[in-house]
Amino acid sequence: MDLKTLLIDLGNTALKWALLGDERTPQTVVHRDNAAFKDKLYAQWLELAPDRVLGCTVAAPELAFSATKFFNDHDIRWHWIRSQAAFESPGLTLRSAYENPAQLGADRWCAALGAIDAMPGESLLVVQMGTATTVDAVRHMGGNEYVFLGGRIAPGPTMMKKSLEAIPALRGEPTEWEAFPHSTRAAVTTGILDAQAGLVREAYETLLKEAGRVKVVLAGGAARFVEPRLRAQLPDVMLQHNLVLLGLAAQARHQLLKE
C-alpha cells in the first residue's frame, strides 16, 4: 500500500504544505500575526489522513510544537528534517562542506536538494529571499555527485527597509529602481535592490571561478521584487519557488525506497 506523505515547510512568516507528488503546487498559510488558522488547517490535515509527515522548520517554535502535538494526538508519524553531513540516494549524493553540518539551517539544506531536483547536472547558486536572504553555493562534481560548499546570509529586502524606517526621513512606499535616483524613496529602493543583487552577483562570480559554469536558482517571497534587477546583471537566473518542499520530496522518496 502506498504511504500518503504530508510535506511541511514552516518559515518565519508562512507555512507551506503539500502531499508528496503535489509538492510543486502547495497550499500556503500566513501564520505571522494570525492566531485563527490552526483549527481549519488541522481539520484539512485530518481529512487528508496522512500516514506520515516530513517537515522543515527553522522558525515559529510554538507552531512547530503545536503541529507536533497534533500529529502525536492522531498517531501520525512525523519527522522534522535536520541538515546532514551527506544525503545519499541512488540518483543523488549531496555532501556538506559545512564545518558543523548540523549547524546549517535545515531550510537551506532542503532548498539545495530542491534546487538540484529542479536543475540537475549544474553547479548552482541557491538564493532564497525572505525575512533573510540566503545565497548558497552547490558545486556539481560530475555524475550524481554534488557538494554544498557554504553560503551567505544577509537581511532580506523587507528587513532592510524596516531598518531604514527607524529614520523618519527614509520612510515611504517602495518605487522603481533608478540608475540615478531623484527622490529619497527611489534612493532607498535602489539601494536595497542593488544590495540584494550585489550580494548574489559576488557569490556568483566566486563560484564561477571554482565551477566554470553556474546557474542561479531564485526563490522566496521577496524574489519577485529583486528578480528584474538581478536579471539585468546575471544571465542564468531561474525562478523556482517551493525549493524546500522539493527538497523534502526528494528525501521522502528516498525514505520510501528504503522501506
HEC string for 103-147: HCCHHHHHHHHHHHHHCCCCCEEEEEECCEEEEEEEEEEECCEEE
154 burial (CB, 10 Å; 0-12 / 13-18 / 19+) is: middle
Give the pairing of strands 145-155 and 132-142: antiparallel
In single-letter form, the type of residue at position 73 comes to D
Which position among 2, 33, 51, 107 bears the catalytic label? 107
Q: Is 107 a catalytic residue?
A: yes
Take residue 52 and report the three cell numbers written for it.
Answer: 506520515
Take residue 93 and report the three cell numbers written for it.
Answer: 549524493
Long-range contacts of the stretch 224-228 (C-beta < 8 A, 24+): 225/129, 225/157, 225/174, 225/193, 226/129, 226/157, 226/193, 226/196, 226/197, 228/177
Active site residues: 107
